[in-house]
Amino acid sequence: MPPRRGYRSRPGRPSPARRNGRASAEAAAPVATAVPPVERDIVIPLALTVRELAERLSTTPIDIVKELLKNSIVANINQTIDYDTAAVVATDLGFNVVEAPIVEVSPQELRGRRYREEEAAHLRERPPVVTVMGHVDHGKTSLLDVIRQTNVTEREAGGITQHIGAYQVEVDQHRITFLDTPGHEAFTAMRARGAMATDIAVIVVAADDGVQPQTVEAIDHARAAGVPIMIAINKIDKPEADPERIKRQLAEQNLLIEEWGGETICVPVSAKTGQGIQDILEQILLVAEIEELKANPNRRAEGVVVEAQLDQQRGPMATLLVHNGTLRLGEVLVAGDTSGRIKAMYDEHNHQIKRADPSSPAKVLGLGTVPQAGDTFSVVADERTARNMIQDRLRERQLQESHVVRPVTLQDLFAQAQSGQVQELNVVLKTDVQGSIDPIRSSLLKLGDETLRVKVLHAAPGSITESDVMLALASRGIVLGFNSRPEPGARRLADMEGVELRAYDVIYTLVEDVEKALKGMLAPTFVDVVEGHAEVRQVFRLGRRGAIAGCAVTEGRVARAAQVRVLRQGKVVADDKVSGLKHFKDDVREMPAGSECGVSLEGFADFQEGDVLEFYRKERAS
């Protein structure tokens, strides 16, 4: 399993300058040439073309080709070279290669809860961002509407309120931001894209209807994200309202309200009469205070795209929610795979604004294309930096097929746990009947040890839905079905995102499989099918770490899309993926027996003449 990528830079990859132990002071020391070389910092992605490297180094592609030749590498202008090779050339041309800054996207960081130390002095309180969730028809939309109507400030009252995906209200001189696409589906879909926009989840339960399946789902989705939960018991104006029953039902979900000695704040409200609305807003501020939500307004803005669409007249429009920093008119930003200079900015009352501070939403014009909801954004120095960042992202994605959140499978669980990547197997459990849940859950919870154990994120009767798959994806978990089949949409989503979905009809087998996975003993569900062999005849070194094996295909066929075992005197010395297959200078998909080709692998380059490359693919056993 490759390391998690996306927003994280290459871990621990030293820059050539540092590898060579060459300090910048030394490099800047006077030399005998007329113009002393000035060291400039340059950031290089995992791979880029010769032309792109030239652009970054402000030189011509021909000069790069010449430099490569000096290092015995023949490359044309459109050829892709790897990080190491590019770094050597850049260093030779007097650049100081620096690693891309590490931007680790933990939920806390995205919510602006973790900061670099040097920022501490700049931190200021910021408004909480709230998502409203709950069962259909329990009054989520009505609640959002009444909050918006009763709390607009005077200045804004004249503006035409628009739905832009988020709005702010003012309560006792404090602001609160509401995301106005209610529901846990949007919340978890955003989380699956690596974005964590919400600080507090308000779960709405209708007093006349009680806790329903989607209420439980919403609670579990909020819990899985580690977001504080508040309860709004709505529709208390109705004669049949029974808040006490709801409090009992919540206790069954392990949500004990304050009144009963628990920690969950619970406020009775009516979206119809407005009763309790002021109270719930004040309670939100209280929770926000406990959470100590802070951000640094004195830095470039970063945050998340809440909503985006193409306006026929004005072009791509996106509502951004600022997590940290201040967003200003005229700045250049990168959002997902697109970028642009902010030409105009509006608030939710359609007023033009010049800046948006932490936790504020802003609708912006000026992006090149429409980003996706859930994409993260950041302000950068200029358009050139933006272009480079996007190229890096696209290329890294191509290379890694990276998802911001990478799913986990039962099959590779143990290996990931060994390498410290997971300590808990997150499970979404769907069963045929309510009665099956408890025995399965308690058997699963008994498994594992202190280093690796099962955590049931959500368990409910019913078929496996897209929402279940999304929750598993966002939490790097798996979905287990007991006598429960996936809905077609859920199966498609799981296949597309690589989320593991397993169906069982015997409890014992389900529990046994999970136990084996925790112990690293799960029998493979894939078998290896050998497709061909090739013998290494000559090794061409590329830069410091790369190499191409010049091979003769001796048997079967060899394919670009295959896995390769490198055999040396009958022993496996590497097991890797093909990263390049060439016939002379051309990239090819496959080559038959009797032909010659150049093979490079993703992680292994230490070929020797006489090595045998065994090309195989994994096939589902059943």
CB of 214: closest distance to ligand GDP in angstroms? 9
Residues 6+ apart with CB under 8 A from 153: 170
Interaction mask 190-229, ligand GDP, x per CB under 6 A: ----------------------------------------
Nearest to ligand GDP of 41, 137 (CB atom) = 137
Which lies closer to ligand GDP via its Cβ, residue 232 or residue 459?
Answer: 232
Q: How far is the CB of 333 from ligand GDP (least distance, A)?
A: 32
The answer to whether residue 445 forms part of the interface with ligand GDP (CB under 6 A) is no
Copy the structure tokens of residue 286.
């209280």
Taking the complex as a whole, the smallest distance from the CB of residue 463 to ligand GDP amounts, in Å, to 22
User: Shortest approach of ligand GDP to residue 236 CB, angstroms?
Assistant: 7
136 binds ligand GDP (CB under 6 A): yes
Binding ligand GDP (rule: CB under 6 A), the pick from 59, 71, 142, 563 is 142
Q: Which of 362, 353, 346, 348 is nearest to 301 (CA)?
A: 362
For ligand GDP, which stretch binds (CB under 6 A), given 43-51, 134-142, 216-224, 438-446? 134-142
And the tokens for 212?
């329903």
Enter the tokens of residue 180: 């106005």
Residues 227-266, one symbol each (x = binds ligand GDP by CB under 6 A, - = not), give -------xx-xx----------------------------
Q: Kindly give, in sequence order, each residue whose CB lies less than 8 Å from that of residue 32, ignoring residues fewer than 6 positions away.
A: none
Closest distance of CB 272 from ligand GDP, Å: 4
User: What's the CA angle centered on 301, arms 126 and 96, to 5 degrees?
Assistant: 135
CB of 183 to ligand GDP, least distance (A): 8
Nearer residue to ligand GDP within complex by CB, 218 or 548: 218
In the structure encoding, which two tokens stand for residue 556, read together? 């079967």
Q: Cβ-count burial of 104 within 10 angstroms (0-12 exposed, 13-18 middle, 19+ buried)?
A: exposed
In the bound state with ligand GDP, the residue whose beta carbon lies nearer, of 232 and 332, is: 232
Residue 393 near ligand GDP by CB under 6 A: no
- In the bound state with ligand GDP, the residue whose beta carbon lies nearer, of 133 and 169, is 133
Question: For ligand GDP, which is the closer residue by CB, 94 or 274?
Answer: 274
How far apart (Å, rounded) are the C-alpha atoms in residues 481 and 432? Answer: 8
Q: Does 139 bind ligand GDP (CB under 6 A)?
A: yes
Does 141 bind ligand GDP (CB under 6 A)? Our answer is yes
Matching residue, tokens 């019913």: 462
Contact 262, 256 (CB under 8 A): yes
Taking CB under 6 A as the rule, does residue 476 contact ligand GDP? Answer: no
Q: Which two tokens stand for residue 357?
A: 């501070």
Give, in order, the Cα–Cα distances in Å from 379 to each of 60, 264, 299, 344, 406.
Answer: 29, 37, 9, 15, 26
With 0-12 / 13-18 / 19 or more C-beta atoms within 10 angstroms meaning exposed / middle / buried, residue 330 is: exposed
Nearer to ligand GDP, 96 or 234 (CB): 234
Q: Is 138 in the site for ligand GDP (CB under 6 A)?
A: yes
Q: What residues between 164 and 183 interact with ligand GDP by CB under 6 A?
A: 182
Is the torsion defined by CA of 17, 18, 19, 22 positive or negative? positive
The helix/strand/coil state of 7 is coil
**Nearest residue by C-beta to ligand GDP?**
139
Burial class (CB in 10 A: 0-12, 13-18, 19+), 120: exposed
Interface stretch with ligand GDP, choices 15-23, 122-130, 270-278, 345-353 (CB under 6 A): 270-278
Residue 49 found at the interface with ligand GDP (CB under 6 A):
no
Report d(CA 477, CA 192) in Å as an integer: 11
- Looking at beta carbons only, is 142 or 161 nearer to ligand GDP? 142
Bridging pattern class, strands 546-559 and 596-601: antiparallel
Residue placing its CB nearer to ligand GDP in the complex, 272 or 565? 272
Interaction of residue 184 with ligand GDP, rule CB under 6 A: no
Query: What is the secondary structure of 18-65 as a DSSP string?
Result: HHTT--HHHHTS--SSSSPPPPEEEE--SEEEHHHHHHHTTS-HHHHH
Would you call 326 helix, strand, or coil by DSSP? strand
583: left (phi over 0), alpha (psi -120 to 50) or beta: beta
Residue closest to 17 by CA, chosen among 86, 101, 88, 72: 88
- Report, in Å, the least distance between residue 208 CB and ligand GDP: 8
CB 374 within 8 A of CB 341: no
Of 183 and 448, CB closest to ligand GDP: 183
Structure tokens at 194: 């690596």
CB closer to ligand GDP out of 270 and 600:
270
Residue choice 50, 147, 271, 334 for contact with ligand GDP (CB under 6 A): 271
Stretch binding ligand GDP (CB under 6 A), from 131-139, 285-293, 479-487, 600-608: 131-139
For residue 279, which of 147, 167, 181, 154 has the smallest C-alpha distance?
A: 147
Q: Is 272 in the site for ligand GDP (CB under 6 A)?
A: yes
Q: How many residues bind ligand GDP (CB under 6 A)?
A: 16
- Whether 202 contacts 179, CB under 8 Å: no
* Choice between 51 and 272, CB closer to ligand GDP: 272
Can you give the binding site for ligand GDP, defined by CB under 6 A? 134, 136-142, 182, 234-235, 237-238, 270-272
